[in-house]
Structure 1
Amino acid sequence: MIVLTATMKAKEGSGNDLENIIKGTAPKFLKDPGCMDYKVHRRMDNADLFFFYEKYEDHDALAYHAATPHFKEMFAAMKPLLDGKAEILMYKEI
């Protein structure tokens, strides 16, 4: 199992737009083969910060996720709303 976490910061005033993009796309990821969990959280004390928790069966499932049209569309829509790059970390479940 692979767990991926990502932290992203929206540009000031763009948090709600970013949330709407995520809400419109994230449920599709749970239908992708090998995607076991996909949750996004918005920080309570800073509404511009988002935390993604994703879980995949293996590297192939993660690669499939990154290649889907809905991932590419979501990321393209999110990119102009982001303040800097996402911090992405990968873990192996033990």
Structure 2
Amino acid sequence: MIVVTGSVTVRTETFDEARRLSLEHVHRSRQEPGCISHGVHVDCENPLRLVFFEQWADRAALAAHFAVPASGEFVRTLRSLATGPTTLDLYEAGRLEKL
């Protein structure tokens, strides 16, 4: 499984649009093959920071997600609403054991 974390801090006047676009992106992404989970959350310590958490079945599913034109457009638009750089980190994960 591939875990993706990301974040963006947006300007006060762009927060509502960033939130709306993020939710549209999350809902669209959940329908893609290989998407296990995809969510966006507001940071409790910085209410202008949106945090993304995603789980994908494998690298191929994530690569297909990145290739979707709407995903690229979302990233470009979100960056235009941001106050600084966005973050994106990928991790390979597996279940060690079930508790």
Determine if the TM-score, normalized by the shorter chain, exceeds 0.5. yes
Taking the aligned partners of 1:44 and 1:32, their CA distance within structure 2 comes to 29
Query: In the alignment, is residue 56 of structure 1 matched against residue 56 of structure 2?
Result: yes
Aligned to 1:41: 41
Taking the aligned partners of 1:23 and 1:52, their CA distance within structure 2 comes to 10
Structure 2: 5+ residue stretches without partners? 95-99
Taking the aligned partners of 1:87 and 1:73, their CA distance within structure 2 comes to 17
Contact 2:79 2:86 in 1 (8 A): no
Aligned to 1:22: 22
Query: In the alignment, is residue 86 of structure 1 matched against residue 51 of structure 2?
Result: no
Taking the aligned partners of 1:56 and 1:66, their CA distance within structure 2 comes to 12
Q: Aligned to 1:14, what secondary structure does the other structure show?
A: helix
Aligned to 2:97: none
Taking the aligned partners of 1:90 and 1:72, their CA distance within structure 2 comes to 17
TM-score (norm 1): 0.89
Q: Aligned to 1:15, what secondary structure does the other structure show?
A: helix
Instruction: Give the drift of 1:76.
Output: 2.5
Identity of aligned residues (%): 24
Alignment RMSD (CA, Å): 1.3
Query: What is the identity, as a one-letter code, of the residue corresponding to 1:29?
Result: S
Query: What is the identity, as a one-letter code, of the residue corresponding to 1:92?
Result: E
Contact 1:15 1:47 in 2 (8 A): no
Aligned to 2:75: 75
Taking the aligned partners of 2:57 and 2:40, their CA distance within structure 1 comes to 19
